[in-house]
Amino acid sequence: MKILILGGDGYLGWPTAMHFASRGDEVTVVDNYLRRNIARETRSEALMQNPNLHTRCDVFEEATGNQIDVRIGDCADYRTLYTIVDKVKPDTIIHYAEQPSAPYSMKGYDEAVLTFNNNLTSTFNLIWAVIQCVPQCHIIKLGTMGEYGTPNIDIEEGWLDVEHKGRKQKFLYPRQAGSLYHTTKVLDTDLLWFYVRTHDLKVTDLMQGPVYGLSTEQSLLDDRLLPNFHYDDIFGTVVNRFLVQAISGVPLTIYGKGGQTRGYLNLRDTLQCVQLAADSAPEKGELRIFNQFTEQFSVNEIAERVKRAGKLLDLTVELRSIPNPRKELENHYYNPSHHGLLDLGLEPHYMTDDVLAEMLETISRFKHAIDPEMISPRVRWS
Amino acid sequence: MKILILGGDGYLGWPTAMHFASRGDEVTVVDNYLRRNIARETRSEALMQNPNLHTRCDVFEEATGNQIDVRIGDCADYRTLYTIVDKVKPDTIIHYAEQPSAPYSMKGYDEAVLTFNNNLTSTFNLIWAVIQCVPQCHIIKLGTMGEYGTPNIDIEEGWLDVEHKGRKQKFLYPRQAGSLYHTTKVLDTDLLWFYVRTHDLKVTDLMQGPVYGLSTEQSLLDDRLLPNFHYDDIFGTVVNRFLVQAISGVPLTIYGKGGQTRGYLNLRDTLQCVQLAADSAPEKGELRIFNQFTEQFSVNEIAERVKRAGKLLDLTVELRSIPNPRKELENHYYNPSHHGLLDLGLEPHYMTDDVLAEMLETISRFKHAIDPEMISPRVRWS
């Protein structure tokens, strides 16, 4: 299969590229290093020094004999994206090319407009490049569970059957997100659904929860193949932040009451999910939506798990509640469905104490590089 | 009240400006003539030669003694919009500054990207100019009934109370539009709702149906004050197209089966509705939504009404079904609620035979300028 990965330098993009290339697919990655640039500008760089994409691919080829083709370019520039899609003629495009930080998107006008333009334009361009060059191509779009927000009813898998005054209608599940970043993903979904209906595109939208994990099968071959591990308040998710705080000997910073509950998954399961989606494309004119996570936890539960895993390594881990920089419910109903990917064959890696302890061990190898100043919240929601 | 009207040269923008200025409000209009430029490029110009905005304002001042301040500029350029909002410091901003044609948005990539960028960026810029300059300002946004599409359940007024597996949640009514233009309005709504929640904006979203009407109280003073009357397939709504075909002696072109049903309103009622909204601003942090129309008709019913009105003027009007250039249901359930504006005091002008006959008479004064080639559909949906 010819696979084009937009945002192939990212936390998920790079492991995805290695994963498909390792099983023999023809993989091309595109990236413009937007995340690396923002991370540097906001003092939020990754814990390990990840080599640039060209070097990553060279190391990967040395280690495995498999090639990955690299294009440095901006998917928000139509001519760039069109040219690549027209040249590569992919069977599947995996779209990760979005500014991925919620706090960054809430910082101010400049950060908001960058997020809005980059994310919406890259999706719009992708749709049109597919319409104009490869109308049979399967688009796999990374959405987020955050699109749904935290409604007081069960979150179904993408769609909601509504019965109202004795009549019935199936709707795209109503979305109501908590940051501009997440809202751009809501808009992406609206836009994809429109073009699926009018131009018969084939689209899989993966509504993914926060991903944790420091390694994949390929990254174990060479530290230079590690995924980008962000542990700061801008790009780091709560699991990463807690793990680094545990290693640093500072209390885990729980935002507010800590009852905020989300669906999480291991990086290895993201790779499984994307592969399962790629290997079973939807029909033309179908928008297929999966809720992509394996377990749900509150922030307090994650903190307790990190504390417990720390004990295995003789780390004393303290918890501390701090004022919540976000506008979000701190205690809420949360019951999202997630059957589709399990039905396709997903075999989850769960967040056991051993898994967390292994992550702690890897992080401790890089303890010298930790900058604890980067972990406290620097962005407030209004 | 200080009122800023974005898109003040438009079919609704210009009558709105005259309406508020006539009752003593301080009115500033902004426009970049985008619609006029597109109309010229697509051979879709208005029936009457409407003077430019500066001249319109001069004529209006001569006729009424009231002033309207004009700024020519692009609301999709942030510096332009910010500067105007910061200078004017409006109490209310009425946002019409969007590319308003569904067929234009469906023509091809160039038209799609223009519509997408213009509409989303003008709304995004408006939100941020308000946040940064006038956070107390009331935003009145023109949405469209087309955002809802044609669901098989009743369309409620902006919001839907869902009961699901024994639990309840109020959602923004799920939207599923039939053109890219209408989809940009869906995205506008998502975006406004997000910033209302996080930045406590005051927003009224008017979900308006197709507007018909050729005159307002002010335009009767001088033909140079007439609203822009488009009767082509790109900018002309179905009522306008049928009236011009009736005058031209060509059959009314019904798209497909003609069962497509929508909520319509008279231009004079748009002015009433916008005034009612402006005079009763919502609270901070409130998104207030009204469904803005007064009567619903199928395309076939409108054709029959135009035929009947034609008889009053001794016109023989024939009806003809042509292949539908759009992707839409031609027979469907349609039962939208519209109580909010009536509750505020709206007194509807209904589409009587006399109202249509009066429009036919006005059009017949400009019969020499009709180009019937412009009425047949030139854009197909895929």
CB pairs under 8 A between A and B: 111
Strand-by-strand arrangement of the B286-292 sheet: B68-72, B26-31, B2-6, B92-95, B138-144, B202-208, B286-292
Query: Using CA atoms, how far apart are residues B201 and B283, in angstroms rounded to an integer?
Result: 8
Alpha helices in A12-154 (DSSP H): 13-22, 34-41, 53-64, 78-88, 102-105, 109-133
DSSP A270-339: HHHHHHHHHTSPPPTTEEEEEEE-SEEEEHHHHHHHHHHHHHHTT----EEEE--SS---SS----B---
Report the chain A residue with the minimal C-alpha distance to residue B152: A169
pLDDT digits (tens, 9 = 90+) for A305-362: 999 999 999 999 999 999 999 999 999 999 999 999 999 999 999 999 999 999 999 9
- B191 burial class (0-12, 13-18, 19+ CB within 10 angstroms)? buried
B181 among known catalytic residues: yes
User: Tokens for A382?
Assistant: 């209004």
Any CB–CB contact under 8 A between B197 and chain A? yes
Q: 3-state DSSP call for residue B350?
A: coil
CB B81 within 8 A of CB B73: yes
Helix (H, G, I), strand (E, B) or coil at B345: coil
Compute the average pLDDT of residues B190-205. 98
pLDDT of residue B372 exceeding 90: no
Give B253's strand partners.
Answer: B320
- The residue written with tokens 């249509």 in the block is B356
CB-CB under 8 Å, B194 with A180: yes
Find the angle CA(B78)-CA(B79)-CA(B82) to the nearest 5 degrees. Answer: 80
- Residue B354, pLDDT score: 96
Residue corresponding to tokens 């590690």: A226
CA pseudo-torsion sign A184, A189, A192, A197:
negative
CB atoms within 10 A of CB B241: 22
pLDDT at residue A65 in the model: 98
User: How confident is residue B382, by pLDDT bands cut at 50, 70 and 90?
Assistant: confident
Q: Find the Cα–Cα–Cα–Cα dihedral B77, B83, B88, B94, rounded to 10°.
A: 20
Count of residues in chain A: 382
Active-site pick, B107, B141, B185, B307: B185
> B168: buried, middle or exposed (CB in 10 Å: 19+, 13-18, 0-12)?
exposed
Query: Touching check for B250 and chain A: CB below 8 Å?
Result: no
B197 contact residues in A (CB cutoff 8 A): 327
* Percentage of chain A lying above the pLDDT 70 cut: 100
Q: Is B78's Cβ below 8 Å from some Cβ in A?
A: yes
B318-368 tens-digit pLDDT = 999 999 999 999 999 999 999 999 999 999 999 999 999 999 999 999 999
ipTM exceeds 0.90: yes
Q: What are phi and psi for residue A95, nearest 5 degrees?
A: -105, 100
Q: Is B182 in contact with B197 (CB distance < 8 Å)?
A: no
Residue A144 falls in the annotated catalytic set: yes
Q: What is the pLDDT of residues B29-42, one digit of tens each?
A: 999 999 999 999 99
**Number of CB atoms found within 10 A of residue B250's CB:** 16
- Residue A144: enclosing H or E segment and its boundaries? strand A138-144
Split at pLDDT 50, 70, 90, the class of A141 is very high
Q: How far apart are CA B137 and CA A182, in angstroms?
A: 26
Residues A287-316: tens digit of each pLDDT = 999 999 999 999 999 999 999 999 999 999
For the stretch A57-69, pLDDT in tens is 999 999 999 999 9
| A152 with B169: Cβ contact below 8 A | yes
Q: Is B180 on the interface with A (CB under 8 A)?
A: yes
Pairing state between β B159-164 and B167-172: antiparallel
- Token look-up 């490029």 returns B41
Residue B108 has pLDDT above 90, yes or no: yes
Quote the minimal CA–CA distance from B92 to chain A in Å: 22
Distance CA B136, CA B145 (A): 27
Across the range A12-32, mean pLDDT stands at 98
Averaged pLDDT, B180-201: 98
Given the residues A11, A104, A181, A255, the one annotated as active site: A181
CA distance A39 to chain B (A): 24
Alpha helices in chain B (DSSP H): 13-22, 34-41, 53-64, 78-88, 102-105, 109-133, 180-199, 238-248, 267-278, 299-312, 340-344, 353-365
For residues B315 and B176, the answer to whether their CB atoms sit within 8 Å is no
Contacts of B165 in chain A (CB under 8 A): 153-154
- Which of B163, B190, B287, B334 should be substituted to probe chain A, the one whose Cβ sees the most A Cβ atoms within 10 Å? B190
Enumerate the β-bridge partners of residue A321.
A254
Q: Is the pTM for the entire model greater than 0.90?
A: yes
Q: Which residues of B263-279 are buried (b: 16+ CB within 10 A; e: fewer)?
A: bbbbbbbbbbbbbbbbe
Predicted local distance difference test score (pLDDT) of residue B373: 85
Assess whether pLDDT exceeds 90 at residue A373: no
Contact A171 B169 (CB under 8 A): no
**How large is the angle between the packed helices A267-278 and A13-22, nearest 10 degrees?**
60
Helix B353-365 and helix B299-312: axis angle, to 10°?
Answer: 70
Examine the pLDDT at A372 and tell me if it is beyond 90.
no
Domains, chain A, in order of start with CATH, read 2-374 (3.40.50.720)
Residue B381 structure tokens: 């949906």
> Rounded distance, CA A191 to CA A186, Å?
9
Alpha carbon distance A367, B248 (integer Å) = 81
- Shortest Cα distance, chain A CAs vs residue B79, angstroms: 12
A237 DSSP assignment: -
Residue A181 bears catalytic tag: yes
Structure tokens at A342: 């399990």
Render pLDDT for B150-181 as a digit per residue (tens, 0 to 9): 999 999 999 999 999 999 999 999 999 999 99
Q: Quick one: B354 exposed, middle or buried, by C-beta within 10 A (0-12, 13-18, 19+)?
A: exposed
Q: How far is A300 from chain B (nearest CA, A)?
A: 24
Instruction: Tell me the average pLDDT across A265-286.
Output: 98
